[in-house]
Structure 1
Amino acid sequence: MKNGVDRNRATFTPWFWSYRWAARIEAVIVACVFAGVVFIMGFLFQMPGPLVVHVDDDVREPIKGARVRCTSPDGQTSYAGLTDVFGEAKWPGLAKGPWKCDVTPPDRYHAGTTTGYAVVVSRHPAMWTTAIERPGRLSVQVVRPEGAPRAKVAVRAVCGNETWEARAGLLDGRALLFVPHGVPCRVGLVRPELPGYGPSTQRTLSCETEPCSEQLSAGVGQEASAVLKPSLQQWLAVRPPPEPDKPSDH
């Protein structure tokens, strides 16, 4: 002390630096916590990003329901799924490296499987985008004969080796068929093979006994139309049996 002033400044000794056992234990715990945080941050930085496969058409509209299968770089593991309303199928946390992905569009596109690759890396998503051309559309109007009972008759398009079958509307008699674009097709009434719509296994039409259209085709995303006018006998020949009444709850 000089002139009434204490020249010795107060010092601060951290609790961790003391030689007490409790302080040593706390120091070890703090060091472990910091080491754990550093390890977790390093692990997060090394985590692989998600694998995303995006499927859209030629006008960049997403395609829902496309079948996607991706195979790991070593070929030992594969994942399969369907694209959602955004046209995407995704899988997080996959092994790093080039993944092979196969995309099969819905049946109405009449297109084969497309193959591509996406490389999974750390943190960033691996994305592969493929585009499928839209099919052609055939709008068919079936004219119900006067006095004939209403029915959802089946209409089939035969386009070489490709087919599509659908049911005409009960009230408006319209059927929409999806066909491969640019391929000549014929449309006719048939006995139903499918309960709804889709590709048919039968690639023939009975044009000798049932009404058929002339050859017609539609381009990518385009629509062509046809009208079928069956006679009463032809209508009754292809008319599906009436659906049974649903059992009541009582």
Structure 2
Amino acid sequence: MQKKKRILLKVGSNTLTKETDNISRGKIEDIANQIAKLQDTCEFIIVSSGAIAVAKQFVKLESKQKGVFVKQALASIGQPHLIRIYQEIFREYGLLTSQCLLSYSDFEKEQSRTNIVNTINVLVNNNYIPIINENDTVATDEIKFGDNDKLGALTASLLKADLFIIATNTNGVYTKESIENEAPRTIELVEDFDELLKQVVNSKSTHGSGGMQSKIEAASLARESNIETWIVNGIEDNFITNAFENKVPFTKIK
């Protein structure tokens, strides 16, 4: 039997909401449909944001404590709903899902790292798609530092992924000059990482807490483990299969 290509797919809040204020069931269907088409040759592990975005659809939290604690509470409310949506939609495509909540501290302890690898390998070998998010209720790194991009890169490295796909709301990384000229042009292939760093214009995303800077930092982490990173426009339908077939512009970081 031919070994399947292991893909770590990181999906940010902007992709999951399609840049609206609500989680898009249609976008999760689009992801499920593509995974179902590719399941004979690829195995997927998903790092998904979106818990806070889901919670905001259900509740309006009033609190004298502004900021991170309110967001942690929203994450706690939204996470079960997010997983339920994934579970319902993926099941329609014959796909099984599981939930894994991780913290950055888990990557620092040898025993925790071993446990993560063993557990996720058992899930994947039994045709379950792990859906990973940061454990926002006890950890604040995603909320404060970046829209799960770093978590995606660390997970890809730990699980020896063959490919790290970051789904975002642009056609990859644009050249700095093209952004300044308001005619964005995608850098399609990156072989010199230092040159790429000179092109990055840092901007935060609407719903996420990342931006292109955090995606480049994540790609740098993956690169240290010899993992290729693709930065693709996840808002578009069929963004994974179109990237595989080179039908759309996206950034490939060797």
Give the structure with the higher percent helix: 2
Give the structure with the higher percent strand: 1
TM-score range, shorter chain: under 0.3
Which of these two proteins has the greater Rg computed from alpha carbons? 1
Which one has more relative contact order, counting CA pairs under 8 Å at least 6 apart? 2
Q: TM-score, normalised by structure 2?
A: 0.22
